[in-house]
């Protein structure tokens, strides 16, 4: 069960078929295990609720404790329509509840997603508490306050001569199982879509996902709304299942239970919340009912939770998935001691191919200054690069090289000064938009998507160019993105990682990771590529290979390289800019730089070998 790979499995409908078979078999098999139908139904409702939460948390990495607000919203809207308002259509009411929860989710998401990490989680807790209060106080006339809304009807279907009535227990089961099945089919499509792939990239490394050109805020909001819609529909089912909409749907404890069930079952699996709910509710039935432990059952459950989290960090299904993956990819997953030499395939064309695209100064910086409090990282830098140039930047540690690159790619805004790229003023733009225009960089410290494979990493970057910064193609398969495979294969061949394409990043050798770091920048076909110390930490042999790779990439685009390996830069670059104490010390050809006295002084006079 490997729902966490971004490429559709070889048998794309296998999971759907197994799910359908299991749901059909359940009412015939489970009674032999003394499973109460009401427990099974509750598991399905929690499972459906959790599918959306898993997309939000397991896939996108956003831990929300506010799902009870959306569960309650969907539930109470549907229940109000079906009871107080006398609306007769149960399924339509459930859908209206779902839409209401999605709309509320959109607004809540806009607020909560202004922050990340623990602050995001804290805002969602506050929001859950606000909804709970509102349900009990100002809105109690509509929600029934602490009494909830009794008398929620169950659905029935009139299909010509066939009248289906779903009441309680096993009679309601087919309806809930069908809803769960539709929920899973939709979710599997979402996580196999290009947007689903970007959700995972955000979970792994939001900074890089934005830097390769994705509007991560819009994707996070999308995941939040999807989770809200699932929560809203499940909330409505809760009322239908109990013939009563309980006020405790809104309680923070509901959110907590959902988080714990998902963690127990396995995050990033879609089926984890169902498995977690099964463990939780069967244990509850068994410990409370059969063993008569009363409230003490929670203590046992707590122990089970601690043991599972300690020994199976990715939950039950996550553990099963890792176990299966271990065996299926044992052969490929060994890090290579002898990295495959770069193949130097013909470079992929940049967006604006040289010769028929931009000519003249592709990048100009004027008076670029960056101050961090009292620290002046860059001061009044004037810098011009012409299309087709390969420029080197050198300077001692702390000279301001990395800060300069961060300003050029709009990762940090300059304190003053202006930047022009291809004739357009990009000062103050976002890093995502600048990447979309064709200017990007590779990082000094690798910024990769660690739990994804090499091929998936490159695909994430390529998708930003092929689809733009945001697209809601949730029902489209990643395999249908035109040109994706060609672009990924080409990039991998170029950096010599084609044979390692299915290996997770965490298992790569260091030199391979450095080449993948360059591949991520290359995959979006930039017309201007900035490389921050691409040779750092490499062995002499890897350096020679990578210098060859850089030369090959530069044939087709403009590049600026920062590195401490002066021999390599003098060999590669047509011109070199030397930075010192945040300013341009000197600029010239490698020969001029080697002979320049101020440069030799800057390097403590110890580099007569500069001229060697």
Minimum CB distance to ligand ADP, residue 369 (Å): 12
Size of the site for ligand ADP (CB under 6 A): 11
DSSP string, 134-198: HHHTTTHHHH-GGG-EE-PPPPEEEETTEEEE--SHHHHHHHHHHHHHHHHHHHHHHHTSHHHHH
Q: How far apart are CA 387 and CA 377, in angstroms?
A: 27
Q: Is 526 in the site for ligand ADP (CB under 6 A)?
A: no
Q: Give the residue, chosen from 89, 119, 133, 372, that forms a contact with ligand ADP under the rule CB under 6 A.
A: 372
Nearer to ligand ADP, 298 or 583 (CB): 583
Tokens of 239: 């009322």
584: helix, coil or strand? Answer: strand
Nearer to ligand ADP, 247 or 395 (CB): 395
For residue 590, give Cα distances in angstroms to 543, 556, 576, 597, 611: 19, 21, 6, 13, 9
Contact mark string toward ligand ADP, 381..410, x via CB under 6 A: --------------x-xxxxxxx-------
Structural contact between residues 581 and 556, judged by C-beta atoms closer than 8 angstroms? no
Minimum CB distance to ligand ADP, residue 210 (Å): 17
Q: Is 320 in the site for ligand ADP (CB under 6 A)?
A: no
Structural contact between residues 49 and 273, judged by C-beta atoms closer than 8 angstroms? yes
Contacts of 407 (CB under 8 A, 6+ apart): 365, 368, 370, 378, 413, 414, 417, 419
Q: How far apart are CA 344 and CA 3, in angstroms?
A: 34
Contact mark string toward ligand ADP, 167..196, x via CB under 6 A: ------------------------------
Minimum CB distance to ligand ADP, residue 52 (Å): 37
Q: How far apart are CA 462 and CA 283, in angstroms?
A: 46
Minimum CB distance to ligand ADP, residue 534 (Å): 14
Q: Is 380 in the site for ligand ADP (CB under 6 A)?
A: no
Minimum CB distance to ligand ADP, residue 375 (Å): 5
Nearer to ligand ADP, 187 or 399 (CB): 399
Can you name the residues that pair with 531 across neighbouring β-strands? Answer: 442, 561
Give the per-residue SS3 of 396-426: CCCCCHHHHHHHHCCCCCCCEEEEEECCEEC
Q: Is 60 in the site for ligand ADP (CB under 6 A)?
A: no
Nearer to ligand ADP, 307 or 445 (CB): 445
Q: Is 375 in the site for ligand ADP (CB under 6 A)?
A: yes
Minimum CB distance to ligand ADP, residue 372 (Å): 3
Q: How far apart are CA 55 and CA 224, in angstroms?
A: 9
Minimum CB distance to ligand ADP, residue 536 (Å): 11
Q: Is 521 in the site for ligand ADP (CB under 6 A)?
A: no
Q: How far apart are CA 258 and CA 238, in angstroms?
A: 14
The piece of 4-12, 274-282, 315-323, 370-378 that touches ligand ADP (CB under 6 A) is: 370-378
Nearer to ligand ADP, 213 or 395 (CB): 395
Q: Please give the sequence-ordered ranges of beta strands (E in DSSP) within 358-476, or none if there are none.
A: 361-372, 375-386, 390-394, 416-421, 424-425, 439-442
Nearer to ligand ADP, 199 or 405 (CB): 405
Nearer to ligand ADP, 533 or 556 (CB): 533
The piece of 139-147, 160-168, 202-210, 369-377 that touches ligand ADP (CB under 6 A) is: 369-377
Nearer to ligand ADP, 323 or 372 (CB): 372
The piece of 196-204, 210-218, 285-293, 371-379 that touches ligand ADP (CB under 6 A) is: 371-379
Q: Is 445 in the site for ligand ADP (CB under 6 A)?
A: no
Q: Is 377 in the site for ligand ADP (CB under 6 A)?
A: yes
Q: How far apart are CA 278 and CA 287, in angstroms?
A: 14
Termini Cα distance of the chain: 60
Nearer to ligand ADP, 264 or 569 (CB): 569
Q: Is 299 in the site for ligand ADP (CB under 6 A)?
A: no
Contacts of 585 (CB under 8 A, 6+ apart): 395, 578, 579, 598, 599, 602
Burial of 256 (0-12, 13-18, 19+ CB in 10 A): middle
> Which strand ranges, in their side-by-side order, compose the sheet holding 424-425?
375-386, 361-372, 416-421, 424-425
Minimum CB distance to ligand ADP, residue 394 (Å): 9
Minimum CB distance to ligand ADP, residue 368 (Å): 12
Nearer to ligand ADP, 37 or 537 (CB): 537
Binding site for ligand ADP (CB under 6 A): 372, 375, 377, 395, 397-403
């Amino acid at each position: 069960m490997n729902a966490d790979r971004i490429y559709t499995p070889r048998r794309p409908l296998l999971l759907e078929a197994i799910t359908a078979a299991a749901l059909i078999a359940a009412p015939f098999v489970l009674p032999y295990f003394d499973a109460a139908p009401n427990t099974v139904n509750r598991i399905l409702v929690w499972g459906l609720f959790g599918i959306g939460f898993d997309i939000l948390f397991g896939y996108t990495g956003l831990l929300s404790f506010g799902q009870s607000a959306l569960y309650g919203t969907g539930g109470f809207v549907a229940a109000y329509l079906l009871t107080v308002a006398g609306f007769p259509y149960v399924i339509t009411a459930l859908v209206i509840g779902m839409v209401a929860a999605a709309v509320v989710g959109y607004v809540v998401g806009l607020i909560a997603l202004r922050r990340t990490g623990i602050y995001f989680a804290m805002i969602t807790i506050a929001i859950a508490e606000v909804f709970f209060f509102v349900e009990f106080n100002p809105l109690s006339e509509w929600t029934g306050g602490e009494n909830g809304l009794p008398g929620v009807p169950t659905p029935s279907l009139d299909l010509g001569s066939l009248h289906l009535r779903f009441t309680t227990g096993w009679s309601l089961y087919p309806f809930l199982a069908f809803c769960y099945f539709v929920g899973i089919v939709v979710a599997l499509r979402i996580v196999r879509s290009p947007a689903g792939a970007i959700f995972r990239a955000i979970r792994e490394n939001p900074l890089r996902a934005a830097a390769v050109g994705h509007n991560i805020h819009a994707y996070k909001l999308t995941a939040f709304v999807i989770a809200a819609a699932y929560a809203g529909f499940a909330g409505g089912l809760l009322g239908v299942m109990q013939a009563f909409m309980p006020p405790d749907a809104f309680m923070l404890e509901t959110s907590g239970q959902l988080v714990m069930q998902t963690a127990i079952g396995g995050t990033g699996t879609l089926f984890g919340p169902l498995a977690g709910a099964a463990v939780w509710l069967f244990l509850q039935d068994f410990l409370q009912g059969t063993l008569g432990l009363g409230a003490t059952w929670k203590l046992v459950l707590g122990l089970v939770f601690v043991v599972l989290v300690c020994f199976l960090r990715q939950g039950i299904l996550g553990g099963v998935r890792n176990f299966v993956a271990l065996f299926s990819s044992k052969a490929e997953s060994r890090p290579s001691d002898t990295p495959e030499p770069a193949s130097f395939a013909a470079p992929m064309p940049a967006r604006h191919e040289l010769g028929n695209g931009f000519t003249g100064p592709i990048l100009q910086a004027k008076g670029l200054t960056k101050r961090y409090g009292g620290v002046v990282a860059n001061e009044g830098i004037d810098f011009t690069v012409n299309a087709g140039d390969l420029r080197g930047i050198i300077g001692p540690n702390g000279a301001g090289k990395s800060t300069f690159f961060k300003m050029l790619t709009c990762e940090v805004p300059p304190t003053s000064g202006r930047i022009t790229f291809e004739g357009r003023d990009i000062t103050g733009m976002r890093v995502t938009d600048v990447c979309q225009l064709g200017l990007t960089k590779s990082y000094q410290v690798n910024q990769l998507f660690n739990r994804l494979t090499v091929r998936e990493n490159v695909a994430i970057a390529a998708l930003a160019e092929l689809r733009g910064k945001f697209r809601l193609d949730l029902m489209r398969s990643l395999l249908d993105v035109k040109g994706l495979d060609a672009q990924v294969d080409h990039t991998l061949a170029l950096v010599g990682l084609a044979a390692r394409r299915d290996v997770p990043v965490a298992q790569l050798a260091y030199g391979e990771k450095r080449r993948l770091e360059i591949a991520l920048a290359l995959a979006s076909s930039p017309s201007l590529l900035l490389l921050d110390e691409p040779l750092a930490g490499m062995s002499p042999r890897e350096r020679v290979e990578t210098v060859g790779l850089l030369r090959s990439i530069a044939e087709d685009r403009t590049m600026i390289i920062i590195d401490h390996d002066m021999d390599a830069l003098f060999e590669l670059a047509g011109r070199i800019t030397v930075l010192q104490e945040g300013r341009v010390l000197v600029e010239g050809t490698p020969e001029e730089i080697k002979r320049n006295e101020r440069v030799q002084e800057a390097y403590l006079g110890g580099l007569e070998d500069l001229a060697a």
